[in-house]
């Protein structure tokens, strides 16, 4: 992949590939290990941090950009999802991607497609309950991408904590050899977790959105002060959200970080998480307790 090996200060355009056939051909001779960063585009600093980690650990870095219709449970959300290929290629190139795979829907789901990858109980609560079909759409497309790329490692952000657990479970269950790696949430200076959806917030909603992080920090503070009751910790999150009129909570959770079952008492590690709507924009965030 000499074409895209970054030299000092160089800004290289990654090689763009749009078909399964061309991807296989390019990867047949690519230096290994391969690091994969699957994305839906609208790249931001959070994605760049995944790419930089992949760059540091791989001889070839592949990013995929595919707004996957199967994981949107609302058509309007799919249609409004931001798309900007030129900006994505610039960010991907700067962060060190060699190959960007940008397939069409027909390329990912060939004519007659009829396979669905569904993980069990882990997909039932939280995002699974709030967005029916969403996680099935994610596991189906991620399984396809992992099979097509055959990377040694694939990088996912911690912001989608349930997605990460579910993808790990799937890779383990199906014997997919790619190691699934988690990268920390990247935040704006005011604490808002970076997300492609942030750009759809109005200025008023954007100003209110750090309440997600603030509510998690309030629960963390209560936990550190000795509160171990799961419902009290969920209530601490809800109380902060309730003070922000633009924020409409969808769920608030204090769950076992392995099974994602809600906890009555926190006696070991726990995952605080939430989904909140600001008008038509839905944001998520989380905070693992030690």
The total of other beta-carbon atoms located within 10 Å of residue 11's CB is 9
Question: Which residues from 66-95 bind ligand PAF, rule CB under 6 A?
Answer: 68, 71
What is the SS3 assignment for 79?
Answer: helix
49-68 binders of ligand PAF (CB under 6 A): 68
The answer to whether residue 205 forms part of the interface with ligand PAF (CB under 6 A) is no
- Spot the catalytic one: 34, 42, 47, 61: 47
The residue (of 137 and 210) whose beta carbon lies closer to ligand PAF is 137
CB of residue 35 vs ligand PAF: minimum separation in angstroms?
Answer: 15
At a CB cut-off of 8 Å and minimum separation 6, what does 260 contact?
A: 122, 125, 126, 162, 165, 253, 271
Nearest of 232, 70, 233, 220 to residue 144 by alpha carbon: 70
Question: Has 47 been annotated as catalytic?
Answer: yes
138 is an interface residue for ligand PAF by CB under 6 A: yes
User: Angle 141-159-15 (CA atoms, 0-180°, nearest 5)?
Assistant: 50
- Residue 41 binds to ligand PAF (criterion: CB under 6 A): no
Please give the Cα distance from 136 to 225 (Å, whole number): 39
Longest dimension (CA), the chain: 57
Among 51, 95, 108, 141, binds ligand PAF (CB under 6 A): 141
Q: Return the number of the residue (38 or 125) whose C-beta is nearest ligand PAF.
A: 38
Among 51, 99, 142, 192, binds ligand PAF (CB under 6 A): 142
Residue nearest to ligand PAF (CB): 38
Of residues 219, 209, 162, the one with CA closest to residue 187: 209
Considering the complex, state which of residue 96 and residue 157 has its C-beta at the smaller distance from ligand PAF. 157
Site string for ligand PAF, 146-175 (x = CB under 6 A): --------------x--x------------
What does the CA dihedral 207, 73, 154, 187 come to, rounded to 10 degrees? 10
Rounded least distance, CB 163 to ligand PAF, Å: 6
Q: For ligand PAF, which is the closer residue by CB, 122 or 138? A: 138
Region of 124-132, 136-144, 177-185, 258-266 interacting with ligand PAF (CB under 6 A): 136-144
Q: Which is nearer to ligand PAF, 64 or 205 (CB)?
A: 64
Cis peptide before 33 (omega within 30 of 0): yes
Judge contact between 224 and 230, C-beta under 8 A. Answer: no
Among the residue ranges 26-34, 37-45, 55-63, 96-104, the one whose residues contact ligand PAF (CB under 6 A): 37-45
State the nearest-atom distance from the C-beta of 268 to ligand PAF, in Å.
Answer: 27
Q: Which residues contact 287 (CB under 8 A, 6 or more apart)?
A: 216, 217, 219, 220, 271, 272, 273
**170 or 289: CB nearest ligand PAF:** 170
Considering only CA atoms, which of 132, 107, 118, 279 is closest in space to residue 208?
Answer: 279
- What letter does residue 200 receive in the DSSP assignment? G
Contact in structure between 233 and 255 (CB atoms under 8 Å): no
In the complex, which residues of this chain contact ligand PAF (CB under 6 A)? Answer: 38-40, 68, 71, 138, 141-142, 160, 163
**Positions marked catalytic:** 47
């Amino acid at each position: 992949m000499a074409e895209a090996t970054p030299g000092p200060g160089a800004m290289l355009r990654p090689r763009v590939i749009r078909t399964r056939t061309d991807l296989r051909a390019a990867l047949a001779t690519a230096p290994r290990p391969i690091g994969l960063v699957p994305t839906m585009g609208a790249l931001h600093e959070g994605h760049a941090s995944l790419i930089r980690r992949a760059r540091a650990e791989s001889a070839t870095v592949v990013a995929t950009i595919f707004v996957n219709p199967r994981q949107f449970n609302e058509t309007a959300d799919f249609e409004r999802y931001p798309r900007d290929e030129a900006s994505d290629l610039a960010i991907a190139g700067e962060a060190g991607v060699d190959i960007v795979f940008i397939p069409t829907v027909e390329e990912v789901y060939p004519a007659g497609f009829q396979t669905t990858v569904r993980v069990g109980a882990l997909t039932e609560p939280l995002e699974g309950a709030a967005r029916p079909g969403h996680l099935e759409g994610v596991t189906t497309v991620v399984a396809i991408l992992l099979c097509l790329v055959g990377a040694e490692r694939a990088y996912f952000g911690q912001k989608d904590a349930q997605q990460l657990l579910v993808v790990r479970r799937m890779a383990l269950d199906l014997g997919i050899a790619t190691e699934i790696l988690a990268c920390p949430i990247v935040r704006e200076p005011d604490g808002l977790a970076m997300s492609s959806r942030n750009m759809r917030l109005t200025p008023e909603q954007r100003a209110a959105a750090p309440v997600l992080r603030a509510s998690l920090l309030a629960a963390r503070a209560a936990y550190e002060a000795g509160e171990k009751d799961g419902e009290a910790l969920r209530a601490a999150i809800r109380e902060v959200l309730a003070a922000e009129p633009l924020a409409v909570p969808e769920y608030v959770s204090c769950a076992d970080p392995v099974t994602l079952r809600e906890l009555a008492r926190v006696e070991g590690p726990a995952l605080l998480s939430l989904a909140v709507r600001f008008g038509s924009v839905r944001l998520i965030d989380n905070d693992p307790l030690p």
